[in-house]
Structure 1
Amino acid sequence: MKTEKISILIGITVSALFMWFGFHYFKYVDTPAIQRPYSPFLEGIEVLDLRFNDIKYKLRPPSQSQAPVALIAIDDASVREIGRFPWSREMVAEMTDNLLKLGAKSVSFDVIFAEPETSNPQADTAFAKVIADNPDRIVLGTFSENLIDFQPHQDLCVAEAFLATGGDQLVKINPSFAIDEETHAIDDLNWAPLFTTLFQTIQEREQNDLLKSLGKKSPEELSTFQKNNLKARQSLALFEYCKTWLTKHDIFLSPENIAQVETLYHDVVAEAPDLKNLKFEDLRSRIRKAYKTHPIPQYGEWTPNTLELQTPANYTSSFIAQLDADGYVRRYPLFFRSGHKLGTSFIPSMALQSFLLSGPYRAELKMATAKDGEKSLEQFNIYDTSKEPEIKIASYPVDGSGQLLINYYGRQMSLPYVSAKELFNDETTVKVTTSVMNQESKQLVIETKEYDKKEFFKDRSLIVGATAVGLYDLRNTPLEANYPGPELHLTMLANLFDKHFLKQWNQEAQWLPVVLFVGGTALAVAWALLGSLSSLLGFVIFILALGALDLWLFIKNNLLVHSFLIYACAFAGFGAIQVFKYFTEEKKKKELKSTFSKYVSPAVVDELLKDAANLKLGGRRERMTAFFSDVRGFTTISEKLPPEELSRVLNLYLTPMTDIVFKNSGTLDKYMGDAIMAFFGAPVKDPHHAAHACRCALESLVKLKELQKEFSDKGLPHIDIGIGINTGEMSVGNMGSNIVQNYTVMGDSVNLASRLEGINKEYGTRIVISEFTYNDVKEAFTAREIDRVRVKGKLEPVRIFELVCEGAAKDKTAELMASFQMGYDLYHQKRFAEAKEVFEKAQTNWGAEEPVSQLYIERCQEYLDSPPPPDWDGVYVMKTK
């Protein structure tokens, strides 16, 4: 299978794996936290996803809200001026009363008043009076750190435990917050008498255990601290019991208690026709199977305000901060619950309750119940109750747990801050710190300005909370660490006013896995077919384009997509394909290096492997130069030497001659006994292949002289060589069978080079090149034309040249070449007598053996004795190969 096909298959496989994982992951993140299966791996991926999305928050430009909200900040300045916090309730009462008189729509407390002010009992009374005078404008706060994940049926027990531990004061009839949920018949039964009896028994046991451990006889003997401790222990014990209710660990279902308890249960179901006649075990099983996990987070042991303050208050809200798996705050729950008893179990968040009082508005949470009893959040709507009939003003994009993504306006102090100390003076103005948009930098800049108190506070929804660093109400957010907790509630409150929500794609779980597969496959095909550089460029462009789209959706459309897996799929697919290609190419390179290191120098091999285009296996048509070198009379030499000595002679000769071929960018084709066949211009293309071949030939002759002396000194036979060079079109590539192949050249141009090597014997020369080679090198090398020949098997004559030197000939050599050329021209003009005289003079003046001139002297004499025919063209026909 080709590399491209395997690469595409790898890409498709990676995309398919991401699609499979995507279905599981998006189903996981789309499931309310309370209903999710425990999975550290999926949770870890979610953390990466969340942190990746945090980049979008940081890249988004800040915005400014005009919502009528403000934070009354118990800040460091206030603590320094007024004193350590908590302050006296009289001061809180004074501050609250001042705000309400200034026209504030509502005052909500991100502070809990859990203990009476013992040093000044009248302080609580003063604050309680302010609350009682303004019950529809004050929202008290509560919290719980006890997130509970019990079995679904145990919500019945939790609801009663919540009421028994002060929940009846926290959750009062709230006309502004309604739950539309289908109840089960079992919900409508009166469970209070049963649980009152069970809870009394549990509380008495806790009381007796504590009295015994302290050596006390009655609760009256306990100190205030010990009484508070007993109350906390009793509260915790009720919720701990609920964790075991109707399970094998239920203490009231032990053999010694079961008879008495069965009667209590049958009293509860006495009015239910389909339950009253069931045996207790069947009733227990029916109750356990009737319920499914509720999607809204559930807490136990809510901390109420002191009874004196809680009693006159109409509204109490939760200021719990919901943390994601990595401890950051990105989501805001609009409501919580403790059990699911309609009207008494559901607690609105501080931001929601504050907003509802600004209307007046009414919130309606609509729950859906599937056939199998599974509950899900269907809608969350806000209605304006000042209209008749009331009208829906918004439908909020809450998730399955009733949470909204917090649409942060920027870093802290993006919304108005008023230091609490500003409310304890008689000034008519108030200093307000907030962020304003700098028109030049397009950034929010923190500024403090003075406003008229009445104008500023009129119709504002206010939240009172601690921002002083020493009070430690600080949270981690996508924009910054140490973000004041109260500003989380203020930000969501502003979001509710602005109706400008972040939202998630509600079809994400269904479609994003498909996007992963389709998109990943398309990219895999592109990356598989493109080269490495093009793939990398395409990958970078894709990531940048995806990032731009992702950021555009977030900034312009407030759509937060879980895009981490898309990027991860792209990186994984691209990486897998590139790794495969890398190792495949490395394997090919090793094979090629092993193959070509036999033919060319290491430098040429490295150059070849830089670009696969240098090599086209299987043969290609190229204009190149073929080179043949042969030792003269080697057969005679070999007959005189024993085999081992002959092998040594060949090694001494072939090694340096091959090095010269490699040095001049040549490729060794093969050794044919004593002969060397090489070519220039492949596998790496070389525009100067003819020049490199000629230089190789001249350097070979220089090396030959050294070898001749070396052989003479060692008593080895004298050797001489002949070289033939031709340039032309030839086929180059891996030739042979499926079993054995050889990288070689073929064609008429190669055969001509071989003939030219043999021609040296006829002319007594050492290097003969063709006219085709000469035409390529004549500007850089000197050669003399020595004949026009028609080699065996060819019809067209070829001009042949003896290669003399690189560069221009000098001194005597230049003169002799000019003299030879004169005789050569006379010869072809059929002026044989004149030509003979010139050749004889040239041979005499050469001062050494000049076999070419001698050859032409003999030819001239032959034609003088026997003139050639009239159509003689001066071409010599070779009789042998």
Structure 2
Amino acid sequence: MAAFFGCVLGILVYLRAPQPAAPRGDSPSWMPSGVVEMAQGWLEGLERRTYDWRVLELGARSERPDEAVVVAIDDETLAEARQDDRPGVATQPWPRQLVGAMAHRLVEEGALLVLLDLPFPELSPNACVNPKLSPGAISSDDASFREFLERDSGKALLSFSWESQGSRVLPPASRLWPYRVKVGTFPGTSEARAKAQAVLAVQRPAFVIPAGSQVEVWGGASDEADARELGTRLGSPGAAVAERRAADDTFRIGPTELFVSLAEVQVVGLDPAKLVEVRQLQHPVAPLMGGGAGYGAATLTTDPDGVVRGIPHLVAYTARDGRHVLPSLPLAAAMRLANTRSLRYADGRLHVGDAYSVPMDTSGFSLMRWDAPTAGRGSRGSLARSIRAWNVLLNVFDVADERPARFDNDLEGRTVVLTRTAGESGHLRPTPIGLETPGGAILGQALANILRSEGISRAPADYDLGLTVGLAFLGAFLALSLSFLLRSLRGAMLYLSGLALAGAGYTAAAFYVFIEQRLWVAMAGPLLAMVGAFAVTTVYAFRNEQQIRDFVQTALGRYVSPEVARLVTRDLSLMRPERRRMSVYICDIEGFTRLSEGMTPEQLVGLFNEYLLEMAAVVRSTAGQVDKYIGDSVMAFWGAPVRTERHAHLACEAALKMRAVLAEKQDAWEKKYGRRLSFRAGVDTGEVVVGDMGSELKSNYTVLGDAVGMAARLESLNKVYGTYVLVGDGTVSLAGDNYVFRVVDRVRLKGRAEPLRVHELVGRKGEITSPQQDQLALHEKALTAYHQRRFAEAHALFERSATEFKDTVSAVYAARCARFIVTPPPAEWDGVHGVEEGEHLAVAA
């Protein structure tokens, strides 16, 4: 389920919708395109909501930029203009002479650049309205505007717009212009552009024709007289006149071709084929081209929900001579401010010379960082300030009338965006910070991003894919690991809280990365994948929990503890066979055959069941596992299925508790059944193989290994020494810090070359009585004398221990010493006793 949700949502995240105006890639052939697009649109809509929330929070932590100031032709400005009696002020649009005078005034007030976010696609319908504003007494409104642009060369940028949809618009061909006149010869194409622009300004076609190492500029004419007149008008009286040839059309330059040659930029490291391909350009009219002005696109693209979240800084336009890259208005302004024409794209950032950079994808689109949580009042948007255009216009009139300017607009060292916010609703655009954000303010914020080298980067699609798949598996993991909580209402609340905490944790991480690193990682897709995988896995876990519990109970037996069952139910890998160091315990009832004689079957089974119940309860209470019952024997182990490093301690604790339980039950059993019980046990520790073993018909969770056989042999050795619990060296080495043992003997068992040290479990440290301590000291002293071949001394000490403490081990050693006094052992004797079959040594089946 995790893989399913992770892959499905991951694919939708990976195939996310391209940036606005970017070409949409084809859906995979194995997916219905309509379904994919619908799902993508829905998921991307959720993702955009999470993005807008992060943008607003980032804006709340930011300061409004003051690098760009909006000068707005707003409603108040137009209301003031309608009541003014100066020529041209009350009309709309304003004469370009007024616009040019305002741009010039803004430069005089200290503006570094003036971005004219106003369209000039056609010739001005107005004439110059105020001779005071045009020192050259130019009568043409367009010429007056251009004169202002040339006066402030390099200080103004004109905007253009573009569309990426529809067919390319071809220039009208209503006139064929059968003649042409040569209006200049230039050393190169760049020098010829100014003259070609002059030809285009008078609404004639221009031809830039190579002539050897030079370039000739010709203008189209309707006849020879018209050609001579055009030559004189353009400063080339008596210029050559010729008929237009069909081949000349190859070198024809229209206003669009001239504009593209003036506005295009070169970008190193970026494939222009990946940029948005624009189909139509709406650029300034030919008379306004040149004159030191720059050009940039003011087009703002929207997401499918109609919200502007970024700006395309670069687009591609294909002309007859190839593909050309055109900049946005903010990017063109940044290039002017950096005094560079160099653009370089590397590592997801567009570098403007060495001064600025901004995050941008390969389609030329940049997500904007909004430096405010809401659009400000008026026309400023997310910027610090905006100025009414009326204030600037009054300053223009004051200076023209040789009066001091009445408004101090504080524009020193700042960039100005002259824009219109009144009238048509298209000037106001929905953005994450407000439903009505002025377009000029959006351009100003984009410019501030570049000047601060800030912006938002979107994580690569494969990165978001990995997060989506990862959170799907996290959701499934949480559902499985916490499914045990579903057994109660409180547990169910905790269960859902786990999902909520995981979701909140990822949300906080994505939010932190966005705020601190300005990186947009997917949030909606990964969270939905996690929730979906969690929900489906919950259903799966709920339906299968009982089956798993039944399997665990069947495999581990009836007497498995609830804690062990819970752990194994959560992690069935604990049942997997493996080699592990564990402790094994085997015990049986002393003299069971003799004890059962004379008892009815009902009495025998009743006593035996009560005994096994008590023994299994002790094993269970010490986190052990009852392996099997073999006749009157009980086999148990510690250290599996739940791993623990204290398995030897637990096995010793179980042996002592069993003796205590039997001592407590003796009187009741004797009264009820007429019998008293005692048992003998062996404990050994070593490496064994543990796991679920058996056939399809019957299996059991059990252990195999040398430690099992050794525990059985130790249990049988109790009969030799009259002891009750014997343990091996491995158990003593692990549990010796908490329990007291005494060395019983060193024996060499049949089939084993190495001798075995046998120990008796005496009790817990801190609970040994004074008589027991005396007995242990006496036994150690006697055993030392024994191994040093001082058999007479050892005999006396063992006899004393056997008499005073009723110690059966000492009695065994006293008998050996008596034999060795009469017949000493050979010189190579090492103190190891060989145990024979006659001494009742047995091996567990």
What is the TM-score with the length of structure 2 in the denominator?
0.53
What does residue 417 of structure 1 align with?
387
- Superposition map of 1:861-880 within 5 A: 861=818, 873-874=830-831, 875-879=833-837, 880=841
Q: Secondary structure at the match of 2:762?
A: strand
CA distance in structure 2 between the aligned counterparts of 1:725 and 1:679, rounded to whole angstroms: 9
Seen in structure 2, the aligned counterparts of structure 1 residues 812 and 532 have a Cα distance that, compared at 3 Å, is same
Q: Secondary structure at the match of 2:673?
A: coil
Q: Secondary structure at the match of 1:682?
A: coil
| Partner deviation per Cα, 1:565-589 (whole Å, 9 max, x = no partner) | 7x77777788889999997999798
* Conserved 8 A contact 1:784-1:804: yes
**Corresponding position: 1:753 with 2:701:** no
Q: Secondary structure at the match of 2:649?
A: helix
Seen in structure 2, the aligned counterparts of structure 1 residues 49 and 90 have a Cα distance that, compared at 3 Å, is farther
CA distance in structure 2 between the aligned counterparts of 1:404 and 1:773, rounded to whole angstroms: 71
- Superposition map of 1:36-435 within 5 A: 41-48=39-46, 50-51=48-49, 70-74=71-75, 87-88=82-83, 90=85, 93-94=88-89, 102=101, 104=103, 135-136=141-142, 324-330=303-309, 411-413=381-383, 416-418=386-388, 420=390, 428-431=404-407
CA offset at residue 701 of structure 1? 0.8
* Conserved 8 A contact 1:104-1:461: no
Q: Secondary structure at the match of 1:765?
A: coil
**Corresponding position: 1:602 with 2:593:** no
Query: Which of these residues, 789, 792, 801, is aligned with residue 759 of structure 2?
Result: 801
* Conserved 8 A contact 1:473-1:485: yes
Percent identical pairs in the alignment equals 24
CA distance in structure 2 between the aligned counterparts of 1:382 and 1:729, rounded to whole angstroms: 74
**Corresponding position: 1:781 with 2:739:** yes
Query: Which of these residues, 609, 614, 617, is aligned with residue 576 of structure 2?
Result: 617
**Corresponding position: 1:635 with 2:635:** no
| Partner deviation per Cα, 1:124-172 (whole Å, 9 max, x = no partner) | xx99xx9998753799xxxxxxxxxx999xx9xxxxxxxxxxxxxxxxx
CA offset at residue 736 of structure 1? 3.4
**Counterpart amino acid of residue 71 in structure 2:** A
CA offset at residue 720 of structure 1? 0.8
* Conserved 8 A contact 2:607-2:673: no
What does residue 808 of structure 2 align with?
851
What does residue 431 of structure 2 align with?
477
What does residue 610 of structure 2 align with?
652
**Corresponding position: 1:698 with 2:656:** yes
- Superposition map of 1:486-497 within 5 A: 487=441
| Partner deviation per Cα, 1:660-708 (whole Å, 9 max, x = no partner) | 2233333322222332212233334433332322222112111111111
What is the TM-score with the length of structure 1 in the denominator?
0.51
**Corresponding position: 1:666 with 2:624:** yes
Which stretches in structure 2 are left out of the alignment for 5+ residues?
A: 26-32, 105-113, 120-128, 147-164, 170-199, 207-276, 282-296, 333-340, 346-362, 372-380, 479-501
- Superposition map of 1:485-524 within 5 A: 487=441, 520=465
Q: Secondary structure at the match of 1:734?
A: strand
CA distance in structure 1 between the aligned counterparts of 2:530 and 2:205, rounded to whole angstroms: 50
Q: Secondary structure at the match of 1:818?
A: helix
The farther-off stretch of 567-576 and 477-486 is 567-576
What does residue 842 of structure 1 align with?
801
**Counterpart amino acid of residue 432 in structure 2:** P
Query: Which of these residues, 678, 681, 704, is aligned with residue 723 of structure 1?
Result: 681
* Conserved 8 A contact 1:431-1:450: no
Which stretches in structure 1 are left out of the alignment for 5+ residues?
A: 1-5, 112-125, 140-149, 156-173, 181-293, 299-317, 335-362, 369-376, 385-392, 434-448, 555-562
What does residue 816 of structure 1 align with?
775
What does residue 692 of structure 2 align with?
734
* Conserved 8 A contact 1:724-1:754: yes
What does residue 176 of structure 2 align with?
none
Q: How many residues align?
A: 600
* Conserved 8 A contact 1:631-1:674: yes
CA distance in structure 2 between the aligned counterparts of 1:801 and 1:364, rounded to whole angstroms: 90
**Counterpart amino acid of residue 420 in structure 1:** W
CA distance in structure 1 between the aligned counterparts of 2:617 and 2:426, rounded to whole angstroms: 80
CA distance in structure 2 between the aligned counterparts of 1:90 and 1:502, rounded to whole angstroms: 46
CA distance in structure 2 between the aligned counterparts of 1:382 and 1:821, rounded to whole angstroms: 97
What does residue 30 of structure 1 align with?
23
CA distance in structure 1 between the aligned counterparts of 2:316 and 2:741, rounded to whole angstroms: 104
Seen in structure 2, the aligned counterparts of structure 1 residues 491 and 689 have a Cα distance that, compared at 3 Å, is closer
CA offset at residue 765 of structure 1? 1.8
CA offset at residue 651 of structure 1? 3.1
CA distance in structure 1 between the aligned counterparts of 2:763 and 2:798, rounded to whole angstroms: 21
CA distance in structure 1 between the aligned counterparts of 2:549 and 2:811, rounded to whole angstroms: 54
CA distance in structure 2 between the aligned counterparts of 1:364 and 1:697, rounded to whole angstroms: 86
CA offset at residue 607 of structure 1? 6.0
CA distance in structure 2 between the aligned counterparts of 1:456 and 1:27, rounded to whole angstroms: 30
* Conserved 8 A contact 2:421-2:428: no
Q: Secondary structure at the match of 1:730?
A: strand
CA distance in structure 1 between the aligned counterparts of 2:694 and 2:763, rounded to whole angstroms: 38
| Partner deviation per Cα, 1:326-345 (whole Å, 9 max, x = no partner) | 342357899xxxxxxxxxxx
| Partner deviation per Cα, 1:459-507 (whole Å, 9 max, x = no partner) | x88445449xxx9986432344543466458779x89xx99999999xx
CA distance in structure 2 between the aligned counterparts of 1:179 and 1:63, rounded to whole angstroms: 48
CA offset at residue 42 of structure 1? 5.0
CA distance in structure 2 between the aligned counterparts of 1:712 and 1:413, rounded to whole angstroms: 97
| Partner deviation per Cα, 1:397-434 (whole Å, 9 max, x = no partner) | 9xxxx99989788543456523636755857235466x
Seen in structure 2, the aligned counterparts of structure 1 residues 805 and 405 have a Cα distance that, compared at 3 Å, is closer
**Corresponding position: 1:711 with 2:678:** no
| Partner deviation per Cα, 1:805-856 (whole Å, 9 max, x = no partner) | 212633222223333444444555555555444444333323xx44334444
CA distance in structure 2 between the aligned counterparts of 1:502 and 1:785, rounded to whole angstroms: 78
* Conserved 8 A contact 1:329-1:477: yes
Seen in structure 2, the aligned counterparts of structure 1 residues 46 and 735 have a Cα distance that, compared at 3 Å, is closer
Q: Secondary structure at the match of 1:796?
A: coil
Q: Secondary structure at the match of 1:789?
A: strand
CA offset at residue 711 of structure 1? 1.0
Q: Secondary structure at the match of 1:697?
A: helix
Q: Secondary structure at the match of 2:685?
A: strand
Seen in structure 2, the aligned counterparts of structure 1 residues 407 and 602 have a Cα distance that, compared at 3 Å, is closer
CA distance in structure 2 between the aligned counterparts of 1:500 and 1:816, rounded to whole angstroms: 88
| Partner deviation per Cα, 1:299-335 (whole Å, 9 max, x = no partner) | xxxxxxxxxxxxxxxxxxx99997644342357899x
Seen in structure 2, the aligned counterparts of structure 1 residues 91 and 72 have a Cα distance that, compared at 3 Å, is farther
Q: Secondary structure at the match of 1:759?
A: helix
What does residue 339 of structure 1 align with?
none
Query: Over the residues paired in the alignment, what is the CA RMSD in angstroms?
Result: 6.8
